[in-house]
């Protein structure tokens, strides 16, 4: 998608404006992601200077949040490449995150105030979401509601705000597009959590079942736990947050299949995906439908 190159160029321009050579060097080391948020914004609002600028701001905020997340998660890789904290150190990752994040906010102040409000409010939510994620990773969490609230805030809030802001730019119905973004975001994080289990570590660029080892009880584990008897519930809990031996790894995967927890997690992600599309049924939404479908069907 050539439009995404415009977004990348805009990000480089904004970072150049900072006038700091080191920031530009670090920007060059960031692996480009799927740019889901930009794809959404451009599909909803078309490609204009304003929409490209909005995408650049959102991608910079997203990149900043991942720089900080990799420090928090002590992750050595990001999108199959070494993370900035692994290449340099935590300090560099945090500071570069701060630079990207604050430059994006400076740019936001030049944009319509409702966009500035929506996006900055989403950043508060995603920061709260990250804190909830860390807190929920301290002890085995068996609450679906807490999980759902956390993934909404951590991942979905910025996607929701992106879709809402894009709709605002072209005077489309903000509420419908926001709801589309919200449900798409929840489906997106669920798929991410499922891929941690189904994909081999090479494709993902991180070790398999890492979430559980790190204390994250994601949707497939939640559904599996609910369906196990008391003895096996305890067995699963005893494996929580520890390095897994091969037989433990197989036990988890086998039970996830036998209890249909994995299958039903995929169905649940699909349900959120379908709800996303349902809100837009009166709109010309073929492209947005396709974004949802390829997101659900993705393998990394």
**144 neighbors 222 (Cβ within 8 angstroms):** yes
Report if residue 69 touches Mg ion, rule: CB under 5 A. yes
The distance of closest approach from Cβ of residue 121 to Mg ion in the complex, given in angstroms and rounded to an integer, is 22
80 CB contacts (<8 Å, ≥6 apart)?
31, 205
Burial class (CB in 10 A: 0-12, 13-18, 19+), 156: buried
Report if residue 196 touches Mg ion, rule: CB under 5 A. no
182 binds, among Mg ion, ligand FPP, none (CB under 5 to 8 A by kind): none
What SS3 state is found at 14?
helix
Residues 154, 162, 225, 265: which binds ligand FPP (CB under 6 A)?
154
Paired residues of 81 in beta bridges: 78
The distance of closest approach from Cβ of residue 104 to ligand FPP in the complex, given in angstroms and rounded to an integer, is 8
Residues 73, 133, 160, 192: which binds Mg ion (CB under 5 A)?
73
Q: Please report the DSSP string for 38-77 in residue order.
A: HHHHHHHH-S-HHHHHHHHHHHHHHHHHHHHHHHHTT-SE
Binding-residue pattern over the window 30 to 69 for ligand FPP, x denoting contact by CB under 6 A: -------------------------------x--xx--xx
Q: Which of residues 83-142 bind ligand FPP (CB under 6 A)?
A: 97, 101, 123, 126-127, 130
39 binds, among Mg ion, ligand FPP, none (CB under 5 to 8 A by kind): none
Angle of helix 36-45 relative to helix 286-296, nearest 10 degrees? 170
Give the binding range for ligand FPP (CB under 6 A) out of 35-43, 71-79, 84-92, 243-251: 71-79
Q: Which of residues 101-120 bind Mg ion (CB under 5 A)?
A: none
First to last CA, the chain: 19
**207 neighbors 201 (Cβ within 8 angstroms):** yes
The distance of closest approach from Cβ of residue 219 to Mg ion in the complex, given in angstroms and rounded to an integer, is 16
Residues 85, 141, 155, 255: which binds ligand FPP (CB under 6 A)?
155
Report if residue 153 touches ligand FPP, rule: CB under 6 A. no
What whole-number distance in Å separates Cα of residue 25 and Cα of residue 64? 15
160 binds, among ligand FPP, Mg ion, none (CB under 5 to 8 A by kind): none
The distance of closest approach from Cβ of residue 297 to ligand FPP in the complex, given in angstroms and rounded to an integer, is 18
Closer residue to ligand FPP, CB minimum distance, 176 or 205: 205
Q: Which residues bind Mg ion (CB under 5 A)?
A: 69, 73
Q: Which residues bind ligand FPP (CB under 6 A)?
A: 61, 64-65, 68-69, 72-73, 75, 97, 101, 123, 126-127, 130, 154-155
């Amino acid at each position: 998608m050539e439009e995404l190159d415009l977004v990348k160029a805009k990000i480089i321009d904004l970072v150049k404006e900072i006038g700091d050579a080191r920031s530009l060097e670090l920007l060059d080391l960031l692996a480009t992601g799927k740019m889901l948020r930009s794809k959404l914004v451009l599909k909803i609002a078309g490609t204009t200077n304003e929409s490209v600028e909005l995408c650049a701001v959102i991608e910079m905020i997203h990149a900043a949040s991942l720089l900080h997340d990799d420090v928090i998660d002590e992750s050595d890789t990001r999108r199959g490449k070494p993370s900035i904290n692994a290449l340099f150190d935590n300090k560099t990752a945090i500071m570069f995150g701060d630079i990207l994040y604050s430059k994006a906010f400076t740019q936001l102040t030049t944009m319509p105030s409702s966009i500035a409000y929506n996006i900055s409010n989403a950043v508060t939510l995603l920061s709260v979401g990250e804190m909830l994620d860390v807190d929920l990773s301290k002890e085995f969490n068996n609450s679906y509601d807490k999980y759902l609230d956390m993934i909404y805030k951590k991942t979905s809030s910025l996607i929701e705000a992106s879709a809402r802001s894009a709709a605002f730019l072209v005077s489309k119905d903000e509420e419908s597009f926001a709801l589309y973004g919200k449900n798409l975001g929840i489906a997106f994080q669920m798929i991410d959590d499922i891929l941690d289990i189904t994909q081999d570590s090479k494709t993902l660029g991180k070790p398999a079942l890492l979430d559980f080892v790190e204390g994250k009880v994601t949707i497939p584990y939640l559904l599996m736990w609910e369906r196990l008897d008391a003895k096996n519930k305890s067995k699963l809990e005893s494996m929580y947050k520890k390095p897994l031996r091969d037989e433990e790894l197989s036990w988890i995967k086998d039970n996830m299949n036998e209890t249909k927890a994995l299958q039903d997690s995929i169905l649940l992600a699909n349900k959120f995906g379908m709800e996303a599309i349902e809100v837009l049924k009166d709109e010309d939404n073929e492209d947005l439908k396709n974004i949802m479908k390829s997101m659900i069907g993705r393998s990394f």
